[in-house]
Chains A and B, each alone.
Chain A
Amino acid sequence: MRRMITAILALALLGLPAAYAVQPDEIMADPAKEARARELSRELRCMVCQNQSIDDSEAPLARDLRLLVRERIAAGDSNSQVIDFLVARYGEFVLLKPRFERQTLLLWLLTPLALGAGGLGLWFQMRRRARGSADVPPPLTPDEEARLSALMSDEAKSG
């Protein structure tokens, strides 16, 4: 009876889009190689999804790519060879971590540059301010001295 239910369920679900991230049948026998495949998968984009890695994605394309990655690893490719292979086939779009190249220069460098520029700007401002505040106010003129002592004596009398 239970087998029948599951069979019916299986049939019922066949019509639905096949959905799953890393399926059991994809896993490689060698755990070290599988670990490498997983690591690579996290840096590769499922091109039909929104910013999902093929490791996370349920799309059939992601499955094809996962299998491809494992195929290349099984064939003895190094990690960078696998990536080169995929980029040659699908373009830079497949990489979730863009390579450091001419057109991605600004992308990679903006953060350190912003931090550096901000830090430098602050440092200069601090120095300027420090110099400004170090300036001692000009000494009082004799006129002002007289007014001050008059005020002080007034205060002493009334206080």
Chain B
Amino acid sequence: MIAESGHYALVLALGLALIQSFVPLIGARLRDPALMNVARSTALAQLLFVGASFVALVTLHVTSDFSVANVYENSHSMKPLIYKITGVWGNHEGSMLLWVSILALFGGLVAAFGNNLPLSLRAHVLAVQAWVASAFYLFILITSNPFLRIANPPIEGRDLNPVLQDVGLAVHPPMLYLGYVGFSISFSFAVAALIEGRIDAAWARWVRPWTLVAWIFLTLGIAMGSYWAYYELGWGGWWFWDPVENASLMPWLAGTALLHSALVMEKRNALKVWTVLLSILTFSLSLLGTFLVRSGVLTSVHAFASDPTRGVFILLILCVFIGGSLSLYAARVSSLKQGGLFAPISREGALVLNNLFLTTACASVLVGTLYPLGLEVLSGEKISVGAPFFNLTFGPLFVPLLIAVPFGPMLAWKRGDLLGAAQRLLAAGILALLALALVWAWAHGGSALAPPAIALAVFVILGAVTDLVERVGMFRVPLGTALRRARGLPRSVWGTAFAHAGLGIALIGIVCETTWNSEYIGTMKPDDVAKVAGYELKLDGLFQRQGPNFREMIARFDVSRDGEALSVMTPSKRSFTTRSSSTTEAALLTRGASQLYISLGDVTAEGAIAVRIYHKPLVLLIWWGPVLMAFGGVLSLSDRRLRVGAPKPARAQQRLQPAE
């Protein structure tokens, strides 16, 4: 009954989406506010029905109703409750349902909080949003129905892939989807603007908060996924340039570019044509990512060819939306007036440079991800494109970009003073060179590129600090005045500083982890001691434990440094009986931003165990950086000036207040 209700709710949502796709557009043509307002109510109702459908699937998973195929294939009655819930989106059908739920959520948010949007713009935006939603509802209902029943229900389920039975799954996919799908709003805004043929600085002001929200979630989602891979997959890698990861990185790069170009458009009414294109491209890349991950084309082109229903359907959605929006763009672009002239050396110029490098980086990830697929389809030849390729093409693009980062916020709009900016960054530059010398002197071994990279990161961080210092006049005015000014600075200025500093911090982590990582690989018997980076790890012994749906072998390590006992680490290997597979649960010991990492191998016949122990210096900075970037985004989002266009009903009496 619950399954059928869920299914029915989804069909109703499709119906509502279809109404929302056309009625508001007719209303806009007829200038009929009532018809245009249909968009609002249908968007909210749609959210209600998709939400009900999602709750239905969660209920089925929690109650272990194995008469539903999706539950049978991905759940087990002994599975802990949290994994019963997260297992909902740990499979194809469920994750698509999450996808449309989040799409409906964003539509609902625009409907609920978009009171300050012009009525016809809101109608258009929600209509475009409904086109996307209808396409994906159809996709789910036709090819990936999560509510299918099994005629003869089995008593027990097949359990969820053990690698996915982790808290990471609870957070990572929803975050990622909030980011991915959130860009649909900027897409809808762009298409709506093209249909209406009207676009101005106010448009950018409305789009930017939505883009920022999506970007914050995507940033956190990618960072979460990376950390999850790092501790769960058991060999301490945190980024693999896997096509699935690339699929999330591409919208992030394009979205970051979009945030910056929308800024130019909002402040200076320039780069309109480019910003609209970027909005379309960003969501197109999200759709491409969905296609890559969901069609199975990555595992093998042949697997895709043998069961093409799903893949072809998404490919169709992809072509219609990307092709359609780009054609619309091509047809309407000439009507968009370019405004706001600026000199090459200016804030706008710096942001254009940022866009150039970010989109090129995005292109390099795109070509690296799709080239092997294309080549195999065209010539049958199989090649691999992996980390060494991206390190050579993607990596170098970030050097000029990072050098430019501190200069950007220091340049004035319209016409900037590069020499002046350089003078103000002199201290940051000197300190960065000092860092270079220090790292060079202290570091032994490792790539010669590492010290300059650290210096670059230090320059980016100090550049962000310098910007704040300059703005509040620290060291030039009395401390009290400076602090008062710091409080008065717009939150978006703080946001920029945090986000840019986060970039530098992540870079330090990446460089330290890849360059000065030390490892110990060996076979250890109880009471053996391994020495890694000054730490002594003594294997205490091996123990066995029974978990809810797995058996676990735990190794106990006593960790000490210079004879002083620090902690106990217990890496383990879990074997899951239902799927007869095992996972390696690495043990992590955090010391400051550095970590010790132990993962277990096989037990030999003599009762010894293979272990891998790593010391990863400053590895946590890799994820603190993105967290800081996301925090910067949140600060920027809370800026009063942005909130004028952000999802908040405008209060009438505010307009009566005297100007500050």
Q: Which residues of A contact B (CB under 8 A)?
A: 2-3, 5-10, 12-13, 15-25, 27, 42-43, 45, 50-53, 56, 58, 91-98, 103-104, 106-108, 110-111, 114-115, 118-119, 122, 126, 129-130, 132-133
Contacts and interface: CB of A to CB of B under 8 A. Distances in A.
Interface string B98-114: 00000000000000000
Contact of B604 (A3, A10, A15, A115): A10
8 contacts: A2-B541, A15-B580, A16-B581, A18-B602, A50-B243, A50-B244, A107-B371, A107-B389
B359 A98 contact: no
Main secondary structure of the interface of B (DSSP, over half): mixed
Nearest to B525: A6
A13 B384 contact: no
B24 interface: no
B383 A95 contact: yes
B382 interface: yes
Contacts of A10: 603-605, 607
A13 B602 contact: yes
Contact of A122 (B352, B371, B387): B352
Contact of B360 (A3, A7, A19, A114): A114
A108 B551 CA distance: 47
B360 A93 contact: no
B298 interface: yes
Nearest to B400: A115
Contact of B388 (A16, A96, A126): A96
B371 A19 contact: no
Given A56-B235, A97-B389, A107 B604 contact: no
Contacts of A2: 526, 541
B242 interface: yes
Interface residues of B, number: 63
Contacts of A42: 387-388
B385 A23 contact: no
B603 A6 contact: yes
B438 interface: no
A147 to B, nearest CB: 27
A18 B243 CA distance: 26
B232 to A, nearest CB: 13
B236 to A, nearest CB: 9
A111 B360 contact: yes
B393 A52 contact: no
A90 to B, nearest CB: 10
Interface stretch (B138-146, B361-369, B590-598): B361-369
A93 B544 contact: no
B375 interface: yes
A129 B271 CA distance: 13
Interface in B592-649: 601-605, 607, 609-610, 612
A59 to B, nearest CB: 12
B384 to A, nearest CB: 5
Contact of B582 (A8, A19, A43): A19
B132 interface: no
Contacts of A22: 521, 612
